[in-house]
Amino acid sequence: MLNFAKLGSEFSTKVQTQPLDQPFLIHKNTQLYADLGLVLTDSELLKITSGEEKFEQIEPIASIYAGHQFGHFNPQLGDGRSCLIAQIESNAPGSKRGYQELSLKGAGPTPYSRQADGRAVLRSSIREYLCSAAMQGLNISTTQALSLVGSSTEVYRENLETAAIVMRVAPTHIRFGHFELFASRGQIVQVKKLADFVIEQHFPELQGAKVYENFFLEVVKRTAVMIASWQAQGFAHGVMNTDNMSILGLTMDYGPFGFLETYDTSFVCNHSDHEGRYAFDQQPSIGLWNLTRLADALSSLIDTKQAKAILQTYEQQLIKSYSMLMRQKFGLTQQHEGDHQLINQFLELLRIHKKDYTNSLRGLADLEKLSADDNFSSWLVLYDQRLAEEKIEHRVELMNSVNPKFILRNYLAEEAIREAEDQKRYDKISTLFNLLSSPFEAHLGFESYTQKAPKWAQGLSVSCSS
């Protein structure tokens, strides 16, 4: 039985998965498969990941939660197209006890589907599968994806499409919204029960009179570190609703995400976000806003004054983590007073001259090549002076270990999707998965995957529809 299911029927509901028609395994994350210690054949894995068979006769469940969506509270949400199907002990990173939950996304309706079909379409499943690998490769805390299953099952969104299922893996899929649900109903016994469960399962080292304060402090810290990593690597989530915020500080629920290509801090990756609430440069403040909503939900456990004091550590932790990452990206191992200004001057040049964020930072390791660009000549004089103070022997190696060569550019994902949908070919998914899983490696011969978006792809937009 799943540990989360032991909390009772107020927290989750048993569900029956609905298998896909003519399912087939498009891709499997072999490293994660090995980490989980699974010993299934591909045929057995397909039956489980397509929803045809249960994992070790475990009853799947869908959990209930609430959430603030684009700033407005929705009193009841829940796992509308996903369900937990297993919980296993493994060697996979991310959980002190080695527990990992297996979740199917797209395996049919649940009591929380709100008249929807509970399915996920192939295009969004490909994007989620690849981005999970990309974030893991970038060393950003994330849920992972074990498998991608396609089918002949037809579903209708804007057009007729085929359904797919992604198996997601994480120590827990609990969100801020789980706490918000019970707090909004005045069910403080359930809030405490849920908090105790999370602490016991994932923070067992937390003990004593301040256990809830220390738990919240840990969530604040993990969230700050996660968002600092997003900002440093140019990742925009797109839908930072509180029901998409992991209690463990994991990036989760990949919908209309995007990576910065041409450097633009006001980048909005979700074409439904008309007001730019979740623009790239708004993510740090939204993280704090969401944590404040979690603090509200925990008010029966944590004194308001204490909660405010804990929330005040967020900005400090985010700046500390972001500054450390950015110094590393510029090959700086020591902290100097002028580093912030030096880095911001470089980023301003990227903005003015519409340079590619990832390629420009990766190119910093090759100063001779960069010096050929007149746009950076004055800045390079300052950068050379700063590097002279470092006396670092392995600057290039350090920089290439934090500045990726490969990111999941929107047009690359679109090419993989079109190839899969139109030609029933999945080679590009496999290639992208390999490149994104080790994005700091040179991967000679794949330079075409680092190029800017071609003209046909420069206007691509992504919606929440999946």
Which residues are catalytic, by number? 243
Amino acid letter, residue 242: T
Question: With helix as H, strand as E and coil as C, how does the chain read?
Answer: CCCHHHHCCCCEEECCCCCCCCCEEEEECHHHHHHCCCCCCHHHHHHHHCCCCCCCCCCCEEECCCEEECCEEECCCCCCCEEEEEEEECCCCCCCCCEEEEEEECCCCCCCCCCCCCCEEHHHHHHHHHHHHHHHHCCCCECEEEEEEECCCEEECCCEEEEEEEEEEECCCCEHHHHHHHHHCCCHHHHHHHHHHHHHHHCCCCCCCCHHHHHHHHHHHHHHHHHHHHHHHCEECCCCCHHHCECCCCECCCCCCEECCECCCCCCCECCCCCCCCCHHHHHHHHHHHHHHHHHHCCCCCCHHHHHHHHCHHHHHHHHHHHHHHHHHCCCCCCCCCHHHHHHHHHHHHHHCCCEHHHHHHHCCCHHHHCCCHHHHHHHHHHHHHHHCCCCCCHHHHHHCCCCCCCCCHHHHHHHHHHHHHHCCCHHHHHHHHHHHCCCCCCCCCHHHHCCCCHHHCCCCECCCC
- Helices 122-137 and 427-437, axial angle in degrees (round to 10): 20
CA distances from 410 to 126, 183, 236, 354 (A): 12, 38, 12, 17
Pairing, β 67-69 against β 61-63 = unpaired
Alpha-helical segments (H) within 174-301: 176-184, 188-202, 211-233, 283-297
| DSSP-based three-state secondary structure for 359 | helix
b/e per residue 277-291 (b: at least 16 CB within 10 A)? bbbbebbbebbbebb
CA distance 408 to 415: 11
Which residues contact residue 50 at a Cβ distance below 8 angstroms, ignoring those fewer than 6 apart?
19, 20, 23, 149, 151, 165
